[in-house]
Homo-oligomer: A and B are copies of this chain.
Amino acid sequence: MGEQRPGNESLLFLTDEQLRRGIEAMFFAYRGFTADPDIILADRGYGRAHHRAVHFINRTPGTSVNNLLAILGVTKQSLNRVLRTLVEDGLVTSKIGTRDRRERHLFLTDTGKQLEQALSQAQRGRLRAAYRAAGPEAVAGFRQVLEAMMDPDQHRRFVAPGGRA
């Protein structure tokens, strides 16, 4: 089935078996990665979509809806449903743009920042522990592989500076 290359010792990390281990590791790790925020979110009646919106609004305050759409890779209907509840609940404010009045610039309110901090601290706690356990060289490798795994668009956005907010 696979394209093994017996005889070349340096490529043993590319065997199907190693790749299968990597696939399962991604699956289990992602579950751990989201587990702690999920508890906080469920407590307040939110889901992961809210977490993602809050995260990226915090990261790039004043970002437009369209920009957020591109980052999150969902439809505007899907994002709008989430944003509407966040605005209704007073976690996010949307201000009409000055240069282009069609745009809405999104900001976290103080309450929104509180939630972001709670989610962020929980998630960073898990990641920090993993980083500490694995050490700086492992972390560098971790980041390298993750970046190579992204879609090219996402990677460009990821590497690029904050955004055109």
Interface residues of A (CB under 8 A from B): 1-2, 10, 13-14, 16, 18-33, 35, 52, 55, 59, 73, 117, 120-121, 123-124, 126-151, 154-155, 158
> Is A20 touching B142 in the complex (CB atoms < 8 A)?
no
> Is B32 touching A124 in the complex (CB atoms < 8 A)?
no
A18, A22, A121, A146: most-surrounded residue (chain B CB, <10 A): A146
Q: How many copies does the complex hold?
A: 2
Top 8 A-B pairs, shortest CB-CB distance: A141-B141, A138-B141, A130-B148, A29-B146, A142-B145, A25-B146, A134-B144, A138-B144
Task: Tell whether A124 pairs with B16 under 8 Å between CB atoms, given A138-B144, A140-B138.
Answer: yes
Output the least CB separation between A41 and chain B (Å): 15
Contacts of A20 in B (CB 8 A): 59, 120, 124
Contacts of A138 in B (CB 8 A): 140-142, 144-145
Cα distance A137–B26 in the bound complex, in angstroms: 17
